[in-house]
Copies of this chain bind each other. A is one copy, B any other.
Amino acid sequence: MQEAVHDILKKSQLSITGSRVKILELFLEEQGALAHGDIERRTGEKFDRVTVYRTLQAFLNKGIIHSIPTADNSVRYALCKDECGEGHHHDDHVHFVCEICGNTQCLADVTAPAVRLPQGYTARQIQVVVNGKCKDCNQN
């Protein structure tokens, strides 16, 4: 784990600091997506709010995480797949938001279907958000 974290930071040319290691660990541990608030809570307010913002911004810039669109006004972040890097993102996978437990997950295996746009429009990126009931919540 520690290894993986250092590798990722090194590869992105980010210096290895307490907050970056801790926050990246959170993303690796957590399957789903994390909102800014989640991160503050889970780091036990050990880091300044500003530091968390800047760390997330740095991860975004380097293509380590990506932001997930939501209809409420909470921004969430999730780890990018390997193919992502600075400048080029490939987060064409589907995001799933469970309406029961509230968790947000990346369905890495489900690729976003093609969309036929009207004449004149060109697409660069397609993001799909599915709302529903997740695996765990369907069982209970």
Contacts and interface: CB of A to CB of B under 8 A. Distances in A.
A24 to B, nearest CB: 20
Interface residues on A, range: 35 or more
A138 B115 contact: no
Contact of A127 (B71, B117, B121): B71
Interface in A21-73: 66-73
Contact of A121 (B71, B122, B132): B132
Contacts of A110: 115-118
B124 A133 contact: yes
B121 A125 contact: no
Nearest to A116: B110
Contacts of A127: 69, 71, 128-131
Given A67-B71, A69-B70, A69-B71, A130 B118 contact: no
A125 B130 CA distance: 6
Given A67-B71, A71-B68, A71-B69, A124 B115 contact: no
Interface of A: 66-73, 75, 94, 96, 99, 107, 109-110, 112-135, 138-139
Q: Sorted from nearest, which 8 A-B pairs have the closest CB atoms?
A: A120-B135, A69-B69, A113-B113, A123-B132, A69-B71, A125-B131, A124-B132, A73-B75
